[in-house]
Amino acid sequence: MSVKFKPPIGKFSQINGKCISLVGDDIDTDRIIPARFLKCIDFDSLGESVFDDDRKTLKGNHPFDLETNKGSSILIVNSNFGCGSSREHAPQALMRWGIKAIIGESFADIFYSNCIAIGIPCFTLPKESIKKIQKYLNIKNLFLEIDLFESTAKAEEFKFDLEIKETSKKMFLSGEWDATLKLLENKALIENKLNDLPYIKFNNN
Amino acid sequence: MSQDTLFDKVWDLHKVANLPGGSDQIFIGLHLIHEVTSPQAFGALKDKNLKVKFPQRTVATVDHIVPTDNQSRPFKDNLAEQMINTLEKNCIEHKIKFFNIGSGNQGIVHVVAPELGLTQPGMTIACGDSHTSTHGAFGSIAFGIGTSQVRDVLASQTIAMNKLKVRQIWCENKLSTGIYAKDLVLHIINQLGVKAGVGFAYEFAGPAISELSMEERMTICNMSIEGGARCGYINPDEKTFSYIKDKLFSPKNENWENAVKWWKSLVSTDNCIYDDVFKLDASKVEPTITWGITPGQSIGINQKIPSLNEMHPNDQFIAGEAYEYMGFKPGQSIKNTPIDVCFIGSCTNGRISDLRVAARVLEHNKVAKNIKAFVVPGSEKVAKEAKEEGLDKIFIKAGFQWREPGCSMCLAMNSDKLIGNQVSASSSNRNFKGRQGSPNGRTLLMSPAMVAAASITGKVSDVRDFINK
CB distance A102 to A74 below 8 Å: yes
- Chain B residue with the nearest C-alpha to that of A81: B195
pLDDT at B213: 98
Q: Above pLDDT 90, what percent of chain B?
A: 99
The class level of CATH for A14-177 reads alpha beta
pLDDT band with cut points at 50, 70 and 90 for residue B168:
very high
Question: How far off is chain A from B214, nearest CA to CA, in Å?
Answer: 20
- Which residues of chain B does A40 touch, with a Cβ-Cβ cutoff of 8 Å? 39, 79
Q: Which pLDDT score, from 0 to 100, does residue B21 have?
A: 85
Query: Which residues of chain B have a CB within 8 Å of the CB of A184?
Result: 50, 155-156
Q: Name, in order, each residue with C-beta under 8 angstroms of A115's C-beta and a sequence gap of 6 or more.
A: A82, A91, A102, A107, A121, A122
Beta carbons of B376 and B350 less than 8 angstroms apart: yes
Beta strand spans in A46-166 (E): 74-76, 101-104, 122-124, 143-147, 152-154, 159-161
Distance (Å) from the C-alpha of residue A138 to the closest C-alpha of chain B? Answer: 18
Task: Say which of A31, A117, A184 has its CB closest to residue B433.
Answer: A31
Q: Which residues of A touch B229 (CB under 8 A)?
A: 109
A204·B17 Cβ contact <8 A = no
Task: Give how far Cα B454 sits from Cα of B47, B95, B352, B445, B451, Å.
Answer: 51, 46, 20, 12, 5
Residue A205 confidence (pLDDT) = 59
Given this model, what pLDDT does residue B95 score?
Answer: 98
Does A4 score more than 80 pLDDT? no
Q: What's residue A5's pLDDT?
A: 86
CA B381 to chain centre: 17
Q: Chain A residue closest to B65 (CA)?
A: A39
- Spatial neighbors of B168 by CB under 8 A, at least 6 apart, are B5, B202, B203, B205, B274, B276, B277, B278
Please list the helix, strand and coil fractions of chain A in percent, rounded to the nearest 5, in that order.
Answer: 40, 15, 45
Of B120, B144, B255, Cβ closest to residue A110: B144
Set of chain A residues whose Cβ sits within 8 Å of the Cβ of B19: 167, 176, 182
Beta bridge pairs of residue B289: B299
Comparing alpha-carbon positions, the chain B residue that sits nearest to A28 is B432
Q: Per-residue pLDDT tens for A143-154?
A: 999 999 999 999
Judge whether residue A2 has pLDDT over 60: no
Q: Locate the chain B residue with the closest alpha carbon to A42.
A: B40
Mutation site for B-interface testing, chosen from A31, A33, A37, A39 by largest number of B Cβ within 10 Å? A39
Beta bridge partner(s), residue A123:
A103
Helix, strand, coil fractions of chain B, as percent rounded to 5: 40, 20, 45
Residue (of A127, A128, A77, A82) closest to A104 by Cα position: A77
Alpha-carbon span A61 to A96, nearest angstrom: 20
Chain-chain contact of A36 with B437 (C-beta, under 8 angstroms): yes
The kind and range of the H/E element at B272 are none
Mean pLDDT for A33-49 is 95
Phi and psi, residue A90, nearest 5°: -65, -60
CA B468 to CA A23: how far, in whole Å?
A: 47
Task: Single out the residue of B283, B297, B328 nearest to residue B432, CA to CA.
Answer: B297
pLDDT score, position A47: 96
Taking residues B285-295, report their average pLDDT: 98
The pLDDT value recorded for residue A1 is 46
- H/E element holding B276? strand B276-281
Partners of residue B161 in chain A, C-beta under 8 Å: 113
User: CA-nearest residue of chain A to B314?
Assistant: A25
Q: What is the DSSP letter of B72?
A: P
- Chain B residues within an 8 Å CB radius of A118: 146, 148
Q: Best interface-test mutation with A: which of B23, B145, B256, B262 has the largest number of A CBs within 10 A?
A: B23
Domains along the sequence of chain B with CATH: 6-264 (3.30.499.10), 288-467 (3.30.499.10)
How many CB atoms are closer than 10 A to CB A6? 6
**Cross-chain residue pair B37–A86, CB shorter than 8 Å:** yes
A chain contacts of residue B251, beta-carbon cutoff 8 Å: 199, 202-203, 205
Q: Which amino acid is at A12?
A: F
Q: Given an 8 Å threshold on Cβ–Cβ distance, is A88 in contact with B123?
A: no
Residue B424 near residue B339, CB atoms below 8 Å: yes
Instruction: Tell me the three state secondary structure of residue B30.
Output: strand
Q: CA of B13 to nearest chain A CA: how many angstroms apart?
A: 8
Q: How far is CA A72 from CA A19, A65, A142, in A?
A: 5, 11, 10
Report which residue type is found at B217.
Answer: R
Contacts of B314 in chain A (CB under 8 A): 25, 79
- Chain segment B232-249, per-residue pLDDT in tens: 999 999 999 999 999 999
The average confidence (pLDDT) of chain B is 97
pLDDT reading at B190 higher than 90: yes
Mean pLDDT, to the nearest integer, of B364-370? 97
Task: Give the residue on B whose Cα is nearest the Cα of A178.
Answer: B148
Provide the pLDDT for residue B62: 98
Q: Is B61 on the interface with A (CB under 8 A)?
A: no
Buried b (16+ CB within 10 A) or exposed e, B212-247: bebbbbbbbbbbbbbbbbbbbbbbbbebbbebbeeb
- Cα separation, B313 vs B230, in Å, equals 25
In the predicted structure, residue B333 carries a pLDDT above the cut 70: yes
Cα A195 to chain centroid, rounded: 36
Over the stretch B297-318, which tens digit does the pLDDT of each residue have?
999 999 999 999 999 999 999 9
What mean pLDDT is predicted for residues A70-84? 98
pLDDT category at B285 given cuts 50, 70, 90 is very high
What single-letter DSSP state applies at residue B282? G
Which residues in chain B have their CB less than 8 angstroms from residue A203's CB? 120, 249, 251, 255, 259
Report the residue of chain B nearest A23, measured CA to CA. B317
From the CA of B468, how many Å to the nearest CA of chain A?
36
Q: Which residues does chain A have within 8 Å of residue B22's beta carbon, measured at their own beta carbons?
A: 166-167, 170
Q: Is residue B170 over pLDDT 50?
A: yes
Angle A6-A11-A14 from CA coordinates, rounded to 5°: 80
What is the number of residues in chain A?
A: 205
Which residues numbered 349-378 in B keep a CB inside 8 Å of some CB on A?
none
Exposure class string for B308-331: b at 16+ Cβ within 10 A, else e: eeebeeebebbbebbbebbebebe
Cα dihedral sign for B380, B386, B392, B395?
negative
Q: Do B430 and A118 touch (CB under 8 A)?
A: no
| pLDDT single digits (tens) B376-387 | 999 999 999 999
- Tell me, what's the pLDDT at A203? 87
Q: Which residue of B has its CA nearest to A86?
A: B130
Distance, CA of B297 to chain centre? 18
CB–CB contact A84 B130 (8 Å)? yes
Nearest residue to B346 (alpha-carbon basis) of B191, B226, B187, B194: B226
Model confidence band, residue A167 (pLDDT cutoffs 50, 70, 90): very high
User: Is the bond preceding residue B74 a cis peptide, omega within 30 degrees?
Assistant: yes
Q: What is the DSSP letter of B223?
A: G
Residues of B in contact with A57 (CB under 8 A): 439-440
Q: What is the pLDDT of residues B11-39, one digit of tens each?
A: 999 999 999 888 999 999 999 999 999 99
B128/A contact by beta carbon, under 8 A: yes
Test B434 with A39 for CB contact under 8 angstroms.
Answer: no
Q: Considering only the beta carbons, identify the residue of B123, B162, B228 that sits closest to A83.
A: B228
Angstroms from A184 CA to nearest CA on chain B:
6
- B198: exposed, middle or buried (Cβ count in 10 Å: 0-12, 13-18, 19+): buried
> Which of A28, A40, A184 shows the shortest C-beta gap to B432?
A28
Asked if A25's CB is within 8 angstroms of B317's CB, the reply is: yes
> To probe the interface with A, which of B154, B161, B195, B241 has the most A CB atoms within 10 Å?
B195
Average pLDDT, chain A: 95
Q: Which residue of A has its CA nearest to B436?
A: A35
Give the other-Cβ count within 10 Å of B398's Cβ.
21
Query: Residue A82 and residue A110: Cα distance in Å, rounded?
Result: 8
Q: Does B158 touch chain A (CB under 8 A)?
A: yes
pLDDT digits (tens, 9 = 90+) for B94-150: 999 999 999 999 999 999 999 999 999 999 999 999 999 999 999 999 999 999 999
Q: Is B248 on the interface with A (CB under 8 A)?
A: no
In B193-253, which ranges are continuous DSSP H helix? 207-210, 214-222, 238-244
Tens digits of residue pLDDT in B50-99:
999 999 999 999 999 999 999 999 999 999 999 999 999 999 999 999 99
